[in-house]
Amino acid sequence: MKVVIVEDERIAVERLLTLLKQYDESIEVVACLESIDETVQYLKQSAHPDLLLLDIHLADGHSFEIFKQVNYNRPVIFTTAYDQYALEAFKIFSIDYILKPVTLEALASAFNKLRSLPAGLPTDFSRVMSITDANRYKKRFVGKVGQRLFFIQTADIAFFQADNKIVYLIDKEANRYVVEYTLEQLSEMLDPQQFFRLNRSFIVGINAIQQVKPWFNSRLKLSVAGQNASDDMVVSRDRVAEFRQWAEA
């Protein structure tokens, strides 16, 4: 069996390589890729493997985007750090997922499931995408103000801010709520077409952006609904090109 690993954490790649060898030494890992773009180019230019072992959240976005750009209908085993991606859509189409950290037992179970399927069974990823696009992102959050809880619809969110290990949700009316997620977890939960991670401190909603202007050191500075005067909302230099592409999508 020929396998392609798509994972942007080196430690996770090394762990998968070790576990695959322990499970079955005959498995051949033909490529280890790190991003959506790299995977798309590989699948367009190379013979498709028997299996993709695919992390859901990569540095350049959610790996579901790969299947919008490449006609791929072979099996996939997804890995993820967060169980909100454990959707029935994957089970319907005999796609398995493994929660990180990956264990030998979980990997063996997924491969055993794969090997029990009829040979050549196609997977209709266009249908998977239609289901996951509609359902996989959070539609509302619970925010705290003191001991009180509030329900905030995602459409009403202006941005998220991390400040001294506390993450705040700020709506378009400038109301601030504490949420029990890190920015990394929120990046998994939010629709990447609607929200963008500016830097280590902010995730912003596209419908809340009022103005973008050039800033020092080739960066961009944003004015956003709900923003305090002290909130310095700047796109880090290494994310400017990606931000421009996101804003124009």
Measure CA 38 to chain center: 16
Q: Helix axis angle, 10-23 relative to 104-116, nearest 10°?
A: 60
pTM above 0.75, yes or no: no
Whether residue 6 contacts residue 65, with contact meaning beta carbons closer than 8 Å, is answered with no
Measure CA 145 to chain center: 28
CATH classification code of 141-247: 2.40.50.40
**What residues contact 155, with CB distance under 8 A and at least 6 apart?**
207
Q: Rounded CA gap, 130 and 65, in Å?
A: 12
Whether residue 163 contacts residue 178, with contact meaning beta carbons closer than 8 Å, is answered with no
Q: Per-residue pLDDT tens, the chain, 249 aa: give them.
A: 999 999 999 999 999 999 999 999 999 999 999 999 999 999 999 999 999 999 888 888 878 788 888 888 788 888 877 655 555 435 434 467 788 889 999 999 989 888 876 665 555 555 555 545 555 688 899 999 999 999 999 999 999 999 988 999 999 999 999 999 999 989 888 988 899 999 999 999 999 999 999 998 889 999 999 998 778 899 988 889 999 989 886
CA 227 vs CA 47, 85, 144, 185, 231: distances in Å: 49, 31, 19, 22, 6
Q: Rounded CA gap, 74 and 81, in Å?
A: 23
The CATH H-level superfamily of 2-135 is: Response regulator (3.40.50.2300)
* Alpha-carbon torsion angle 62, 67, 73, 79, nearest 10: 0
Phi, psi of 124, deg, nearest 5 = -90, 90
Relative to beta strand 96-99, strand 76-80 is parallel
Domain ranges of the chain: 2-135, 141-247
Provide the β-strand partners of residue 234. Answer: 221
Query: What is the Cα Rg of the chain in Å?
Result: 20
Beta-carbon-side half-sphere exposure of residue 136 (alpha carbons within 13 Å): 23
